[in-house]
Amino acid sequence: MDTNRSARRRASKGMYTAAASALVLAIVITVNLLLGQLPGGSLEFDLTGYGMYTPGAESALLLGALDSDVEIIVLAREGAVEERLQKFLDNYKNLSPHIKLRQLDPVADPTAITRYEAREDSVVVRSDATGKSSVIDIYGFEGYSEGLLLCDVQRYYSTGARVPVALDAEGQLTGAVMFVSGVESETVYVMEGHSEQPLGNNISGLISKANLALQPLNILKEGRVPRDCRLVLCNTPADDLADDEVNLLGTYLRDGGSLLLVLDDPELEKWNSLLGQYGISPQPGFVGDRERYYENFASSFGYNCIYPVLSQESGITSGAVADAIVIGARPLAIGDPLRRGTVITPLMTTSDSGINTTDENTQTDGRFVVAAAAVEELADKGTATRVTVIAAASLIDDSVTSAVPGSSNLGIFMNAIAENYDDVSLVNIPARRFTLIYNTLKNTGVWGIFFVGVIPLGFIVCGFSVWTRRRRR
């Protein structure tokens, strides 16, 4: 009897186990089938910590407002699209139902390149509604040429291999989508005729992504500043203004125009006269800072490679999330403006431990301004004049911005441009580096003592304390 009861019990347990196993298997299969119906990438998560493959809120907002279809066509051989770029493209197309993504293999479809007036390893962004299109290279070189993937130019020259070091897809694509969808681009007029330096590739790329067009302007040849000009940009003039240019540029500013000047020569008399009307006077010398200098670069630049104090009173610098880095900045004196009602805001200054070196034997201590903005409200015209002077050419120098990609240099300059287009949405999306961006230590001596001395000593003291308590037990 006991044997039969035990056999029945074992049989019941076996049936229960079999039924439970069948139920679990059915649930697993059902869940697997349901998950298989989800769109590709739905269960992938960006765990990079800084959203490498996730488009930002700015792109989501702009693409969410699209009211017509925009097609993104990747012209690359099957399987040749870099995996990280492909992940980003898949996420990017999900920002709007109006974004259509497809890939064409130019080997399988030889007419694709001529049909879209493009080239292999490029991306075409086009809109049938506007008839506009834009072609972006997949590969570019950091600091030299634009592309969705920015490669290390030194490794390319030494090995011939294109090794991506940064992803610039979001800024490039969003700028192109804005252009082809009919968002009118604004124009930045760039002064020439005074031996100005051309803008570097890094800042030019950001300006282009912001849907801004750079237009050369020779005021003497034109005989005027164009009426549609909202900003005149002048980058490190080496020659002074002519008398007629002073008058024409002065009239433009008095009528509510804007000037963004990157200054490296403080002894241009007529430039100084024009700036003096707005209370800004360039001074001779080179600025350093005994407190806010980069110790890593002290062997090359001494105290003259600094991370200036950024003003929290201006939208140009208040939103910066990282330090800027400038080398060989010039001092600006802030005085009483001749134009009444002008308000001057220092944008970047040294600490109180600043120094200005005018020659080998002359140094002046104090707090020095290296960038400032003057704004004159013109109530009768319903507008304002803006004069922004950055006496630090290194702020947008490619050699600096490429060497320290985590700095706020380019963001500050783009903010200075955007201040003049407050009624226009400008795209300001920097490239995202694949490699880790390490903080540039400013005063390594203090941190060295902390990490090499204080922390190990703390562990030793704590360990000895624990050992002593246990021994007494």
For residues 201 and 350, state if they share a domain.
yes
State the CATH number of the domain containing residue 239: 3.40.50
Asked if residue 253 is part of any domain, the answer here is yes
State the CATH number of the domain containing residue 75: 3.40.30.10
Q: Where does a domain end: 120, 147, 177? A: 177
Asked if residue 150 is part of any domain, the answer here is yes
How many whole angstroms separate alpha carbon 276 and alpha carbon 368? 17
The DSSP line for 199-240 is PPHHHHHHHHHTTEEEEEE-HHHHSS--TT---EEEE--SSP
For residues 361 and 224, state if they share a domain.
yes
| DSSP bridge partners of 65 | none
Q: Where does a domain end: 139, 157, 177? A: 177
Per-residue HEC secondary structure of 133-155 comes to EEEEECEEECCCECCCEEECHHH
| pLDDT, one tens digit for every residue, the chain (473 residues) | 556 666 666 666 667 777 777 788 878 788 777 765 655 555 455 545 556 778 888 888 888 888 899 999 999 998 889 998 999 999 999 999 999 999 999 999 989 999 999 999 999 999 999 999 999 999 998 777 889 998 988 888 888 888 898 899 998 999 899 889 887 778 999 999 999 999 988 898 888 888 888 999 999 999 999 999 999 999 999 999 999 999 999 999 999 999 999 999 999 999 999 999 999 999 999 999 999 998 888 888 999 999 999 999 999 998 887 899 999 999 999 999 989 889 999 999 999 999 999 988 899 999 999 999 999 999 888 889 999 999 999 999 988 888 887 789 999 999 999 899 876 666 777 788 886 554 555 555 555 666 666 777 777 878 778 778 777 76
For residues 75 and 4, state if they share a domain.
no
Asked if residue 50 is part of any domain, the answer here is no
How many whole angstroms separate alpha carbon 426 and alpha carbon 206? 10
268: how many CB neighbours lie within 10 A of its CB? 19
For residues 84 and 20, state if they share a domain.
no
For residues 392 and 338, state if they share a domain.
yes
For residues 347 and 378, state if they share a domain.
yes
Q: Which H/E stretch holds residue 166?
A: strand 164-167
Q: In Å, how far are 70, 95, 184, 425 from 98, measured between CA atoms?
A: 6, 9, 19, 20
For residues 453 and 425, state if they share a domain.
no
Q: Which H/E stretch holds residue 447?
A: helix 444-449
| DSSP bridge partners of 344 | 374
For residues 414 and 277, state if they share a domain.
yes
For residues 214 and 282, state if they share a domain.
yes
Write down the pLDDT at residue 26.
79
Q: Which domain holds residue 268?
A: 185-433
Asked if residue 287 is part of any domain, the answer here is yes
For residues 171 and 222, state if they share a domain.
no
How many domains does the chain contain in total?
4
Asked if residue 14 is part of any domain, the answer here is yes
State the maximum Cα–Cα separation within the chain, in Å, rounded to a whole number.
Answer: 121
For residues 163 and 123, state if they share a domain.
yes
List of residues 6+ apart from 326 with CB closer than 8 A = 305, 306, 307, 308, 348, 370, 392, 394, 395, 400, 409
Nearest to 387 by CA among 398, 375, 397: 375
Whole-prediction pTM: 0.74
How many whole angstroms separate alpha carbon 460 and alpha carbon 469? 14
List of residues 6+ apart from 305 with CB closer than 8 A = 293, 294, 297, 298, 325, 326, 327
Q: Where does a domain end: 154, 177, 200? A: 177
For residues 281 and 368, state if they share a domain.
yes
Query: 457-463: long-range contacts (C-beta < 8 A, 24 or more apart)?
Result: none
Asked if residue 49 is part of any domain, the answer here is no
Asked if residue 45 is part of any domain, the answer here is no
Asked if residue 51 is part of any domain, the answer here is no
